[in-house]
Amino acid sequence: MPTSETKIQPPIAAKKPTKLEKHGDVRVDNYFWLNDRENSEVIDYLKKENDYNDKMMAHTKKFQENLFEEMKSRIKEDDSSVPYKLNGYWYLTRYEKGKDYPIYSRKKETLEAQEEILFDCNKEAEGHSYFRLVGLSISPDNKLAAYGVDTVSRRKYTIRIKNLETGEIYPETIETTTGGSTWAADSKTLFYTKKDEETLRSDRIYRHVLGTSVTEDVEVFNETDDTFSTFVYKTKSRKYLVIGSSSTLTSEYRILRADNPTGEFQIFQPRIRGVEYGIAHYNTDFYVLTNADKATNFKLMKVSEENTIKENWKDLIPHRDSVLLEDVEIFKDYLVISERDNGLNKINIKRWDGTADYYLPFDNETYTAYVSTNPDFDTKTLRYSYNSLTTPNSVIDFNMETKEKEVKKEQEVLGGKFDKNDYTSERVWATAQDGTLVPMSLVYRKGIKKDSNNPVLQYGYGSYGSTIDPYFSTVRLSLLDRGFIYAIAHIRGSEYLGRSWYDDGKLLKKKNTFTDFIDCSKFLIEQEYTSAHHLYAMGGSAGGLLMGAIVNMAPELYNGVVASVPFVDVVSTMLDDSIPLTTGEYDEWGNPNEEEYYTYMKSYSPYDNVAVEAVQKYPNMLVTTGLHDSQVQYWEPAKWVAKLRELKVDDNLLLLHTNMEAGHGGASGRFEALKEVAEEYAFLLDLESIKE
């Protein structure tokens, strides 16, 4: 770190007060002006912050390079996915050594057949600093591929169509879409989702006929409720096209026979606020996964395709208070159910004729198991994945009839140094301030002693019911091998312990997410896994909100914090319905146009609560963002850092790094993203005086 004699001064953002008034409450935002990426003064400020970050971290540059090479060296560069079969072809994704992007290919009927290259994304990405191809959709006759491309990182995809026999890319260019699309049975009609230009909400479904002008495309559905988003897909049985509409708490579907693409979509069951459902088709029936009838943890119901209205739904798997029903996968002879029981994944397999009903055996204390890619309807093989904090990911084919399993691929950790027996994992339970037990998954090298001196990186998210399962990471080894303990806090706001765990961490109970994380930190300190001098916290996006909240509420517990693309200006963002995603988020955070939600939101919003104690010290902090982020706009972290610089009363590090070319997911190349991780790890390791 630079000496005091050569102390580098951070950039100071100009204060330009803007009064924001709501419900008679006035907030003065001195940095509101940063909300303009076209303003040269804004860009200049972000560049100055980047320059300051570079200078303050200059002494770690070599270490960052070494960490990057170390992480990269564990990854098999010439890797390929396990092929899956769909409609007579085996599809696979592979990477070539030294190249950043995937190659999509297929083989007809057998894996010994000649490879057909569908897309070499390395070639497609040439000339672009960012490139992403998504939504690869093959026509039923196997001759065409629709796909979406984004070269800006704003998640506005352009759909193109490629003739897989001739290699020709057709002139049709469909802009501002989700990138996904689905073919009707005729292999000529394509359905896709458009996004609103300004808010980026997925709001309209269109029908395109091959060879016609995009200007002639027919709008088949317009989702007018701005708290909903819409999407389109085809059932696994291939019999129906489905238009879905969903908000945080409510869903609705429309169906149409795939062999009748110009017909009218029929509503499956009209939306009822608070009722969520998902549908899968088999034979002459639909299977409905729903929370209807107060089934908080969801149940499975069945209804004839002839009359799908809710009054006709019949219970198949009833609601259970202690088990969350997460998903179902339908095969010709089998029904596969994904459950979560006491935080752990379970996979239940049933034969339709009732002759078999059993669970896959998993015996670890903390692990992740999930149903993988299973597009083939008429098969006895279930493909699933399994990993744990100490065990690399395996892709397994399981014969549901004979119960034989075949490990198709186990993730290779290159470099010759990794042995899973060198590491151990455990699940512990912290007591929250309201008495609730909050689980954490820990992993560390064997032999670590509880003496308060271990560095711990505590990771959390805790929003949208999204659960961070205890998964294996080759990248994380760079911390574990240097003495770190890694902890995932399964705080409220996720669905780790069922749907009520989510309900207790949103809206007017959102603060449970933050206090749970803090109580987990206190547990780690009390149990002498670490001390406040060696405890670090990390989170991104809504997990970045978590970071912003904990450094206001309990800054003394942490030596350092990494906040990636943090959602920290909660009130202003939720009041601005022109920002992507805002209106669809009301059921998660509340609508601040209502005074009760405004007041509660303001009470925890990190930006609004910087140094409210008047004199406040903050941990060392690294904040990262992307200029083109569509999920959390760059100005949130930029304003937050500017305000922290103004008000905090300590000399701890405060760094802002803006990727001037990327969005919410960071860099697009598979190895470029590692450079961002290397920067974060170097920041943490440097605070521990670990230099190599």
In terms of Cβ atoms closer than 10 Å to its own Cβ (0-12, 13-18, 19+), residue 372 is middle
Cβ-based neighbours of 161, under 8 Å, separated by 6 or more: 144, 145, 146, 169, 170, 172, 190, 210
Rounded CA separation 366/387 (Å): 10
Q: Which of 153, 541, 630, 668 is catalytic?
A: 541
Comparing CA positions, the residue from 206, 211, 132 lying closest to residue 171 is: 211
Strand order in the sheet with 116-120: 84-86, 89-94, 103-108, 116-120
- Within 8 A by CB and 6+ apart from 71, the residues are 474, 475, 478, 674, 677, 678
Neighbouring C-alpha atoms within 13 Å toward the C-beta of 481: 15
What residue has token string 């459902």? 277
For residue 433, what are the contacts with CB-CB under 8 A and spacing of at least 6?
Answer: 515, 519
Query: β-pairing, 285-290 with 103-108?
Result: unpaired
Alpha-carbon distance 601 to 591, whole Å?
A: 9
Backbone conformation region of residue 211, classed left if phi is above 0, alpha if psi is from -120 to 50, else beta: left
Catalytic (active site) residue 333: no
Is 541 known to be catalytic? Answer: yes
Q: Whole-angstrom Cα distance, residue 149 to residue 151?
A: 7
Name the catalytic one among 605, 629, 630, 657.
Answer: 629
Q: SS3 for 306?
A: coil
Assign 675 to helix, strand or coil.
helix
Candidates 412, 416, 557, 389; CA nearest to 480 is: 389
For 391-442, the DSSP string reads S--EEEEEETTT--EEEEEE----SS---GGGEEEEEEEEEPTTS-EEEEEE
Residue-by-residue DSSP string for 574-589: HH-TTSTTTGGGHHHH
Q: How distant is the alpha carbon of residue 123 from its chain centre?
A: 27
Tally: H helices and E strands in the chain: 12, 37
Residue 279 pairs with which residues in a beta bridge?
Answer: 288
What CA–CA distance (Å, rounded) separates 638 from 552?
17
Which residues, including other chains, have CB under 8 Å from residue 9's CB and lie 6 or more apart? none
Per the residue annotation, which of 605, 664, 668, 686 is the catalytic one?
Answer: 664
Largest CA distance in the chain: 80
* Nearest Cα residue to 383 out of 360, 363, 362, 364: 360
Dihedral pair phi/psi, residue 76, rounded to 5°? -75, 110
629 is catalytic: yes
Question: Do 586 and 623 form a contact (C-beta atoms < 8 A)?
Answer: no
Strand order in the sheet with 654-659: 423-431, 437-445, 485-489, 456-459, 535-540, 560-564, 620-626, 654-659
Residue 614: both structure tokens together = 């008047």
Taking CA atoms, 296 is separated from 52, 270, 683, in Å, by 49, 20, 42
Q: Which residues are catalytic?
A: 541, 629, 664
